[in-house]
Amino acid sequence: MDYADIDLNLTDEQKEMRDLVRKFGAEVMRPAGIQLDKLADPAEVIAPKSILWDVFKQYRALGLHATGMSKSIGGTLEDMDPMMGILMLEEMGYWDAGLAISLGVSGMPFTYCQYSPDPELQTLARQYVEDKDCKLIGCWGITEPDHGGDWSLGKEKPECGPSLRGVLRGDEFILNGQKSAWVSNGTIATHSVLHVGLEPSRGMQGQGVAICPLDLPGITRGKPLNKMGQRPLNQGEIFFDNVRLPKKYMIMLPLPPGTPVNRSGGSPMGSMAVMFAGLARAALDEGIKYAKSRIQGGVPIIEHKNIKLKIFQMFMMTEAARSLARRMQMYNLTSGNSSMMHTMAGKWLSTETAFKVASDAIQIFGGNGLSKAYVIEKIFRDARTAMIEDGTNEVLALSSMDTL
C-alpha cells in the first residue's frame, strides 16, 4: 500500500488480527491462489495432494476458522469485535477472493449448529472447531438450476420456491431434487446448510433450512464447475434422491404467513461487499506498483498525467467502496437492526468497483495486463465473477427496493 491508511481508531487487537490475516494472505493465499488458478481441470484443484488443502489446514492452524464459534465449544467468538471480523474479511478478499469465499463458507453449517439445542449438532460444532485436518467442510446449498435471482423477487409465488422438496414422514424429511453447480464447496463439503421447499404453495416463504450431512444415502455430486474466475473456489452440483434426513436436522421451519423476513443483517451479501472492497484495493495496488516500475518515454509511467489521473480515480472509487462496505457491515452487525438497501448497495458498489479498478489497472499494464504472468489478469476475472454470484447486482438492487 503506497497511500495513507486512515483507520486512526483501530485498537491493538484489531491491528493484530489484520496483520495476522495479512501475513497469511501474502504467504499462503496469494501464492496458492495463483497456482490453483492455472490448473486447467477444476478436478485438480481439489485433488488429494492439491495445495488447496495446505491453505485450509494453515487457516485452521491459525484458529481463523473458530472466530465465528462460541467459547463454550472452543471458539473465539467472544474475543472478536465486529471490526476485527470486517478487517479479516477485507484482507482475505484482497489476497484471493475465491479462497476467501471457500474458507468462509466451509464453516457455515457448523456456525448454525452451535445455536441448536440438539446435543448432536452441538457436538458437530465442537468437532469443527477441533478439526485441524479439514475432515469437516461446509457448503451453502441454496442455488438451483431453475432458481436464482427469482428467489429475491418471488416472495410467496409458488413458482419461485425451491425445487428441492422435503416431505415429513414420521421423524424424517424425505428430500428429492437438486442444487446447482454454483454451490460453493459443493463437491468437497461434508455438510451443507440446505434450503428445502417444505410448503411449495408459499414459494420462498415456505422454505426450511436444514443442516444436512452429505454422506447420507441418496446424495451424489456432479463434477467441479469449470469457470472463468475464482477458480480456486470449488463449486458443483448436489443431487438428492429419496434422502432420509432426521427431523431434528431441520433447524428452521417456514415462518407464519405475513412474518417480516430480515434478509440483510450479517448476510453473505454484507460479507461479499467487504471482501470485494478488499479485492478492489488489491487491483489498485497492482496498478500503482506497475506504474512505478514501467518505464516509457524515459520515466516511470506514473509520471505521465493521464496515468496519475487514472490512478487517482481508481483510489477514489476504492476508498468509497471500502467506506460503504465497512459502515454497512458495522451497522448490520451491531445496531440490532439492518438495512437491506445499504447491504445490496454495498455488494453492488464493491463488486462493480473491483471490476472497474481491475479493468483500469489492466489498461495501465497495457499488453502485459493481458498476460497470465501478472496477477492483475486473475484479479480482473475474479472481480467479474462477483457481479453475478450470490445474485446479480441488478436483481439484488430490485429486491432491496421492497423495503422502501
Q: In sequence order, what DSSP letters do the residues of 290-341 get, joined into one string?
A: HHHH-EETTEEGGGSHHHHHHHHHHHHHHHHHHHHHHHHHHHHHHSSS--HH
Give the C-alpha distances (Å, rounded to integers) separating 386 from 51, 224, 259, 273, 369: 23, 18, 31, 10, 20
pLDDT for the residue numbered 261 = 52
pLDDT for the residue numbered 265 = 42
Q: 343: which 3 cell numbers?
A: 447491504
Query: Topology of domain 268-403, per CATH?
Result: Butyryl-CoA Dehydrogenase, subunit A; domain 3 (1.20.140)
Sole residue written with cell 499462503: 28
Residues 6+ apart with CB under 8 A from 282: 93, 94, 95, 379
Angle between helices 97-105 and 375-386 (to 10 degrees): 50
pLDDT for the residue numbered 230 = 98
CATH class of 138-252: mainly beta
Give the C-alpha distances (Å, rounded to integers) separating 299 from 130, 291, 293, 295, 366: 55, 10, 9, 5, 16
Burial 342-351 (b: 16+ CB within 10 A, else e): bbbbbbbbbb
Query: Topology of domain 12-130, per CATH?
Result: Butyryl-Coa Dehydrogenase, subunit A; domain 1 (1.10.540)
Question: Rounded to whole angstroms, how far apart are CA atoms 29 and 38?
Answer: 14
pLDDT tens, the chain, 404 aa long:
788 888 878 999 999 999 999 999 999 999 999 999 999 999 999 999 999 999 999 999 999 999 999 999 999 999 999 999 999 999 999 999 999 999 999 999 999 999 999 999 999 999 999 999 999 999 999 999 988 777 766 667 888 889 999 999 999 999 999 999 999 999 999 999 999 999 998 988 899 999 999 999 999 999 999 999 999 999 999 999 999 999 999 999 987 776 655 444 447 889 999 999 999 999 999 999 999 999 999 999 999 999 999 999 999 999 999 999 999 999 999 998 889 999 999 999 999 999 999 999 999 999 999 999 999 999 999 999 999 998 899 988 888 887 77
pLDDT for the residue numbered 109 = 97
Q: 194: which 3 cell numbers?
A: 440446505
Domain residue ranges of the chain, discontinuous segments joined by +: 12-130, 138-252, 268-403
Q: What is the DSSP string of 231-273?
A: TTS-B--EEEEEEEEEGGGEEEPPPPTT------TT-HHHHHH
Query: Taking CA 21 as the corner, what is the angle to CA 79 and CA 313, rounded to the nearest 5 degrees?
Result: 115
pLDDT for the residue numbered 159 = 82
Question: Rounded to whole angstroms, how far apart are CA atoms 334 and 330?
Answer: 6
Q: Is 248 exposed, middle or buried (0-12, 13-18, 19+ CB in 10 A)?
A: middle
Find the length of the chain. Answer: 404
Q: Specify the DSSP class assigned to residue 144.
A: B
pLDDT for the residue numbered 256 = 76
177: left (phi over 0), alpha (psi -120 to 50) or beta: left
Give the C-alpha distances (Å, rounded to integers) separating 404 from 268, 324, 398: 21, 19, 11
Sole residue written with cell 423495503: 403
For residue 392, report the phi and psi dihedrals to the nearest 5 degrees: -60, 150
